[in-house]
Amino acid sequence: MQIMESRLQQLDSAFAGLNATGVPLVAKIGNNLSAAGQTDDVGIYYYIPVLARWLNLEIYSATHVFYYGLCFGAALVALICFFTWFDSSPRRLLVTAACSIIIALFFSKARSIGDVYLLNICAPLMLIPLVALGMKPGAIAGRGMTAIVIAVGGMVPYFEFARSHSAAPVIVFTLTVLLLNFAAPWWSRLRDGVIFLLVIWLGMQSLFSLVTIRDRYLMANASCYQPVSAVHPLWHSVYIGLAFLPNTHGVPEYSDTVASDFVRSVDPKAYYLSQRYEKILRTEVRRIAIDDPGFIARTLFAKLTKMVSDSKASLLLFAIGLLAGARDRARRHLDVGLVLALGVSMMPGLLVWPASTYYLGLPAICLVTLLLGGVRLMQAGPPWGDEIMAFAQRYYVPDKPLSDSVGARPTHF
């Protein structure tokens, strides 16, 4: 599995800082202490060093254990969810075998990408089938759906802490299917939606409290320390993403240096990726959008065109999945949720850069849609099944008993 060398070095310094101070998210390089995972989402700089400490592993081995374990866990949860859609053993075995093969092929390709980008794949693959399970025919209702919502909401912050927006499609999908599930009472849908958001908020507050503890420690023990953002910078990435098309707005290329040079020209004292730094870039992006909306529209369209062109195979699987599930009319809200989740998964590529690593949630959602569509098709029966049965009953089932029609003994010659 591919892991960026620079990220491994940062993980190693975070592991050294944890062993030296006992405080997570503190990096130690030589005798100097600093914040771990600067310019990046900090989640993996907490998870992996703690895992290495628990298992007594080197950071390189712990990194691979973490990512392979995450992939295996996501695949296992998805298989269990699809398995439980059916009551009969033959169908369960068939679905399990088919899903296992497809997911294995998918991860064999995703393995070449590796690194923190796998979180964009694992989040929808693990959590969307779990939410859909609560909507299956004869599914558990009431408290059972609430339990699923709590479980999914509890896992979302752990994905978001390690990779910003990796679980955003899951959040949109869950809220959509909850609010559009008109078979449930309105108060039940509202209750589950509020509980879902509350659990996510509590989880995020709990995890980001680790950042507060780190900042307090470093301000007391490291000279000249200034708190830095614990998430991947948004406006920094959006600003340099404007370089996708040639422009006259001073963004010649997709480079961190372009953004930092611009901020330095506005405020030389603005610390790199600080709140002041991000505010300057946000103001500049808004100015460009107001002064030249045509350029923004052309850039977004060009990025969207490239993403669609590069994702033709995945989008074909998505369309097949929607068609396969079309017979399941009682759960059309699942289709709406999947379409919206797909759109959200494309946002990083649209706002920043249409590189495949920025929107890996798209192929994952397409895969989930295909598998879920196949499961729903098997549950609902083959297309035109009702018409075939009606045709058979009309033309091949006699209206009269057999003794009164075909084969009856003649009464005279």
pLDDT digits (tens, 9 = 90+) for 312-329: 999 999 999 999 988 888
CB atoms within 10 A of CB 273: 22
If pLDDT is split at 50, 70 and 90, which confidence band does 381 have? Answer: low
109 found inside a domain? yes
Q: What is the extent of the structural domain holding 105?
A: 5-226+311-385
Q: How large is the greatest C-alpha to C-alpha distance in the chain, in angstroms?
A: 118
pLDDT tens digits along 245-291: 999 998 999 998 999 999 999 998 888 888 889 999 999 999 999 99
273 found inside a domain? yes
Question: 35 - beta bridge partners?
Answer: 26
- The rounded distance, in Å, linking the Cα atoms of 17 and 221 is 13
- The rounded distance, in Å, linking the Cα atoms of 406 and 196 is 65
Q: Are 113 and 357 in contact (CB under 8 A)?
A: yes
83 found inside a domain? yes
- For residues 274 and 152, state if they share a domain: no
Predicted pLDDT at 107: 74
Token pair 């890996």 is found at 360
If pLDDT is split at 50, 70 and 90, which confidence band does 409 have? Answer: very low
Predicted pLDDT at 137: 65
- For residues 213 and 132, state if they share a domain: yes
35 found inside a domain? yes
- For residues 271 and 341, state if they share a domain: no
Amino acid occupying residue 330: A
pLDDT, mean of residues 331-339: 93
- Min mean pLDDT across 2-6, 53-57, 122-126, 343-347 is at 2-6
CB atoms within 10 A of CB 214: 25
CB atoms within 10 A of CB 1: 14
Question: Which has more pLDDT, 406 or 317?
Answer: 317
Whether residue 411 is predicted with pLDDT greater than 70 in this model: the reply is: no
Whether residue 389 is predicted with pLDDT greater than 50 in this model: the reply is: no
If pLDDT is split at 50, 70 and 90, which confidence band does 407 have? Answer: very low
Whether residue 383 is predicted with pLDDT greater than 80 in this model: the reply is: no
- For residues 248 and 329, state if they share a domain: no
- The rounded distance, in Å, linking the Cα atoms of 230 and 34 is 13
258 found inside a domain? yes
- For residues 112 and 158, state if they share a domain: yes
Task: Give the residue from 329, 313, 308, 309 showing the smallest Cα distance to 383.
Answer: 329
SS3 letters across the chain? CCCCHHHHHHHHHHHHHHHHHCCCCEEEECCEEEECCCCCCCCHHHHHHHHHHHHCCCHHHHHHHHHHHHHHHHHHHHHHHHHCCCCCHHHHHHHHHHHHHHHHHHHHHHCCCCHHHHHHHHHHHHHHHHHHHCCCCCCCCCHHHHHHHHHHHHHHHHHHHHCCCCCHHHHHHHHHHHHCCCCCCHHHHHHHHHHHHHHHHHHHHHHHHHHHHHHHHHHHHCCCCCCCCCCCCHHHHHHHHHHHCCCCCCCCCCCHHHHHHHHHHHCCCCCCCCHHHHHHHHHHHHHHHHHCHHHHHHHHHHHHHHHHHHCHHHHHHHHHHHHHHHHCHHHHHHHHHHHHHHHHHCHHHHHCCCCHHHCCHHHHHHHHHHHHHHHHHHHHCCCCHHHHHHHHHHHHCCCCCHHHCCCCCCCCC
If pLDDT is split at 50, 70 and 90, which confidence band does 391 have? Answer: low
- The rounded distance, in Å, linking the Cα atoms of 363 and 347 is 14
- Min mean pLDDT across 43-57, 147-161, 349-363, 369-383 is at 369-383
When divided into structural domains, the chain yields a total of: 2
- The rounded distance, in Å, linking the Cα atoms of 167 and 176 is 14
Task: Give the residue from 399, 381, 49, 403 showing the smallest Cα distance to 214.
Answer: 49
392 found inside a domain? no
Mean pLDDT over each residue of the chain, to the nearest integer = 86
- For residues 248 and 189, state if they share a domain: no
- For residues 149 and 68, state if they share a domain: yes
CB atoms within 10 A of CB 50: 16
188 found inside a domain? yes
301 found inside a domain? no
pLDDT, mean of residues 54-75: 92
Predicted pLDDT at 388: 46
If pLDDT is split at 50, 70 and 90, which confidence band does 405 have? Answer: very low
- For residues 142 and 187, state if they share a domain: yes
Q: Are 70 and 123 in contact (CB under 8 A)?
A: no
If pLDDT is split at 50, 70 and 90, which confidence band does 412 have? Answer: very low
Whether residue 410 is predicted with pLDDT greater than 70 in this model: the reply is: no
Tokens describing residue 406: 């075909």
If pLDDT is split at 50, 70 and 90, which confidence band does 357 have? Answer: confident
Amino acid occupying residue 238: V
- The rounded distance, in Å, linking the Cα atoms of 68 and 51 is 13
- For residues 178 and 317, state if they share a domain: yes
- For residues 257 and 204, state if they share a domain: no
If pLDDT is split at 50, 70 and 90, which confidence band does 400 have? Answer: very low
- For residues 161 and 134, state if they share a domain: yes
- For residues 193 and 250, state if they share a domain: no
